[in-house]
Structure 1
Amino acid sequence: MSGLLSIFDLSDERGVLRTSIAVTFVISFLGIGFGLFSGSFSIVFDGVYSLIDAGMSLLSLIVVNLITSYAVADHLSRKLRERFSFGLWHLEPMVLGLNGILLISAALYALVTAIGSLLSGGRDLEFGSALIYAAVTVIACAGIAAVEWRANRKIGSEFLRLDVRGWIMSAGISAALLIAFMIGLAVQGTSWQWISPYIDPAVLAAVCVLIIPLPVSTVRQALADIFLVTPVDLKKHLDTVAAAFVAKHGFVSYRAYVARVGRSKEIELYFIVPADAPARTIGEWDMLRDEIGDLVGDDGPNRWLTVVFTGDPEWAE
């Protein structure tokens, strides 16, 4: 029992992801089964959407394991370290970007299908079984989103933040389905029954229009990380710290290069020292490196900091 609890440990990023993956697989297969039984393409889409999300969460878990192992484990494969001497942080934005693109693509495909169904007269479905699925899924998605959000308040993972957003999106989809199916059931045997075939494709189209823009910010940030776009806030902090350091020690100037790649911060600082400056020992230069490292802050396994002192500005360009 203790082994099972450690696997689904909600205080650890990997444990939270394992929990999310397990619940997502259950909901996805439930959705596909109920969707096929009730004849609802919107429920099938909900299940497929969840299945894509589960697959990407599984890939995210593998990447988290690799990044964490590389950063803190000394026993990691020597061959792996030799092939990826700059670390494995670049995998994180690649997975996040792929996740967002797949979710957007699935929603676009479902939107086109829903519009086609509306134009062809809609489809009939069994509202009773559809209602049961929608109610169960709303409760499950809202519950896991709350649990994961609370866990991530301490963990602070971008993977988990995206996963929470995915659960909220799934809960919203299921809530919309629940309301639509309740309306469909209520109009049976009334003069409004003619709208029944249009309810399923209409709600699917509405849901797709709402969820398509949601992963866009994640894809944009992932692309910024992949293309090494300089983060403005971090560059501003480095400029402030480096300028004060230059003034304090009488250096000529500095050059700062910075990029954020997933959870890592890639920082290179070059300080131009006067060519006629007195010689220093290696220990003294290392003390200066320690000083600027403390000023930069956020010292941990995900910070890559290079500090260079040179009298030739060309080495800093």
Structure 2
Amino acid sequence: MAVKTAVPSEQKVLSFSIVLSGCVALLGIVFGILSGSQSIVFDGIFSIVDVAMCVLVLFVSRLVTRNATPHFQYGFWHFEPLVAVLNGAIMLTVCIYGFINSCKSLLSGGNTVELGMASVYAIVVLAACAGMYLYERKVNVVLKSEFISIDMKSCIMSGAITLALFLSFALAEFLGWIGHAEFKPYADPAILMVITIGLSPIPMGILRRAVKEVFLIAPRDASRRIDEVMAGIRERHGIVDYRAYAAKSGRIHVIDISILVPEDWDRTVPQLDAIRSEIAAGLEQYATLDRWLTIAFTTRQQWL
């Protein structure tokens, strides 16, 4: 009989990511200084930012699992998109910083990189990033954590930076081998410029999604599904009209549906609860423990 493997908690996964990112950051700064590579130093700085954000994410991850308090009666779920905004903004800032530095280095004649040390660094870090990404992807199939999803994107960015570094060092050596050693100093800043431009869409995508949640912009898929469910409810139960309001913030969906019924409607409270259950069943894909669903009935248009 197969034994089921216990899935680690979100906090344990993030804690492991913090330790690994810290090691990668330290490795990047040391190897970057010793090899003279701005790209490796940038990779180390990116990892430091990743560690700092993971610590904040871990704190918020623990916070959102707490019960509501007298001051935060809706809970702490609204902190999740705020952290995502901060994460995306810092990652984008790091990319901009790296791009500016690469431009300055190109204009000043580039810099020579020690290939041996840089190659060792690239191989070790690439293996670490790939392993962490695969591990997080596996556990997040069950956990479905937005925080882990963001950390997976950070792994992709770090791995892409490291892979590009390795290719740039190989290109520099190839240029020297074919008799164009004068171009070798430009390989490091040039690839750093390409990396920062190529990675910028990732934090921009995180920012776009998180800002929508901060401003409580209605998710299209939820709104469309609510309309489909309510169309059937309207036909089966003879309701006059309804208004639906939906928002997503972090891991929670907030859905508020106000239903206008005829004044001579003679449904009892148990029958109204049955309609509520029918609506909830239709919204099953959003029926998580973190869903906030309110369904109200009224005979007055003003309450819609």
Please indicate, yes or no, whether the TM-score normalized by the shorter chain is above 0.5: yes
Question: Given the alignment, which residue of 295, 299, 304 partners 1:307?
Answer: 295
- Offset at residue 15 of structure 1 (A): 1.8
Matching of residue 50 in structure 1 with residue 47 in structure 2: yes
Query: For the residues of structure 2 that align with 1:91 and 1:251, how far apart are their CA atoms?
Result: 37
Contact 1:10 1:16 in 2 (8 A): no
Equivalences for residues 15-54 of structure 1 within 5 A: 15-54=12-51
Query: Structure 1 residue 53: deviation in Å?
Result: 1.3
1:292 aligned residue: 279
Q: What one-letter code is carried by the residue in structure 1 that aligns with 2:139? A: A
1:196 is aligned to 184
- Bigger mean CA deviation after superposition, 153-162 or 200-209: 153-162
Distance in 1 (alpha carbons) for counterparts of 2:265 and 2:174: 86
| 146-155 or 113-122: bigger deviation | 146-155
Amino acid at match of 2:276: R
Q: CA deviation at 1:11?
A: 3.3
| Alignment counterpart, residue 182 of structure 1, candidates 155, 170, 178 | 170
TM-score (norm 1): 0.88
Question: Matches of 1:277 and 1:168 in 2, distance apart?
Answer: 57
Deviates most, 177-186 or 103-112: 177-186
Name 1:110's counterpart in structure 2. 98
Deviations 1:10-47 (A, max 9, x none): 53222221111111111011101111122211101001
CA RMSD of aligned residues (A): 1.9
How far did 1:311 drift? 0.8
> For 2:7 and 2:29, how far apart are their aligned partners in 1?
28
Contact persistence 1:128–1:185 (CA under 8 A): no
Q: Which of 228, 231, 252 is matched with 2:216 structurally? A: 228
Shift of 1:151: 1.7
Separation (CA, whole Å) in 1 of partners of 2:234 and 2:186: 69
Identity of aligned residues (%): 37
Change (3 A) 1:279 1:184: closer
Distance 2:246 2:139 in 1: 30
Please report how far the alpha carbon of residue 68 of structure 1 lies from its aligned counterpart in structure 2 after TM superposition.
Answer: 2.1
Tell me the CA shift for residue 186 of structure 1. Answer: 4.8
Q: What do residues 139-163 of structure 1 show as CA deviations (whole Å, max 9, x unaligned)?
A: 1111111121122222222222221
Asked if 1 retains the 8 angstrom alpha-carbon contact of 2:113 and 2:169, the reply is: no
Shift of 1:287: 3.5
Residue 25 of structure 2 aligns with an amino acid whose one-letter code is: S
CA distance in structure 1 between the partners assigned to 2:12 and 2:99 by the alignment: 34
Give a deviation string over 1:262-295, Cα, whole Å, max 9, x none: 2111100111121222363x44433333332223
* Map 1:72-151 → 2, pairs under 5 A: 81-151=69-139
**What's the CA shift for 1:296?**
2.3
Alignment CA distance shift 1:189-1:273 (3 Å): closer
SS in structure 2 at match of 1:269? strand
After TM superposition, the structure 1 stretch with the greater mean CA deviation from structure 2, 155-164 or 43-52, is: 155-164
Q: CA deviation at 1:183?
A: 3.1
TM-score of the superposed pair, with normalisation by structure 2? 0.92
> What is the letter of the counterpart of residue 51 of structure 1?
I
Q: Secondary structure of 2:65's partner?
A: helix
Instruction: Give the distance between the partners of 2:195 and 2:228, measured in 1 at CA.
Output: 46
How many residue pairs were aligned?
Answer: 298
1:166 to 127, 146, 154: 154
**Larger mean Cα displacement after TM superposition, 116-125 or 103-112:** 116-125
Deviates more, 1:118-127 or 1:290-299: 290-299
* Aligned mates of 2:239, 2:117 — CA distance in 1: 74
Name structure 1 gaps, 5 residues minimum: 1-8, 71-79
Following the alignment from structure 1 to structure 2, what is the Cα–Cα distance between the partners of residues 130 and 295?
56
Q: 1:69: Cα distance to partner?
A: 2.6
